[in-house]
Amino acid sequence: MSVCATKDDFALAAELVRDAGALALRMRVQGLTATAKTTVSDVVTGADHAAEKLVVDRLRALRPEDGIIGEEGASVTGTSGRSWVIDPVDGTYNFFSGSTYWCSAIALKADGPHDSAGDPEVLLGAIYQPQEDRLWVGGEGHPATLNGAEIPPLQDAPLERLSAGTYLHPTWLRRPDVAGPWTAAASRTATIRMLGSGSCDLGSVASGRLGAWFQHSCPEWDWLPGKAIIRAAGGSTDVAVVNGFRWHIAGGAAAVREIHKALTSA
């Protein structure tokens, strides 16, 4: 069954991330506590759950046949062949710490077979950074936009001339099977930026504030929204499997090839 995203889906996605981000920000101003999930830097707040519930409730009402997958546990099986993937607050450690570098993100994907890299077909992505008022939208049949203005196509450039967004939790530095490939790729860039929100990073790559991006073991909600937008902006994405870990890569075609080669040659 062939599925697609409609013009109304793109408008809905933009509305959902705006509303989820605004709710989370209001709750932060009112005061929040955080609970660690896996590590002291992997936290969840009441705003994460409330923002996810807002999105889920809206989707259940407006897209009742679609599936839903949320970072904070939402799981709805649909019948349409499509599923929404929700990250209500991406960069929760930043969010809770008072940084502006966090966002709400959503993707719409096709259910069913994955591609050769093991990814599902992603139909659209939307990312909203509330405190910076930056809204990225893009996907199949929709150009990548930032606050409604079309983003110029990504410029191709060698990795040595580019900044790269990335993330590696400090505990992985003790694992040569992960730290080795990461260092091999990072050392080939002009500079690296480790800012703490994968979707903000991917939006920044799409609009040229970062040159490329790579990270291992990304769940769908950290990868698919930005992947859709970068591809809509004329960029390239890839997945490299190294030592059993999936490394997600995005940027211009040349940079993505170089990062893939560095990761797999380490």
Q: Annotated binding site for Mg(2+): which residue ranges?
A: 71, 87, 90, 222
| Integer Cα distance of 83 and 93 in angstroms | 27
CA distances from 130 to 28, 62, 85, 218 (A): 12, 24, 19, 23
| Tokens of residue 130, six digits | 């509330």
213 - beta bridge partners?
A: 165, 250
| Integer Cα distance of 197 and 161 in angstroms | 23
The two beta strands, 75-76 and 82-90, are unpaired
Q: Which residues are annotated as a binding site?
A: 71, 87, 90, 222
Cβ contact 76:18 at 8 Å: no
251 - beta bridge partners?
A: 212, 236
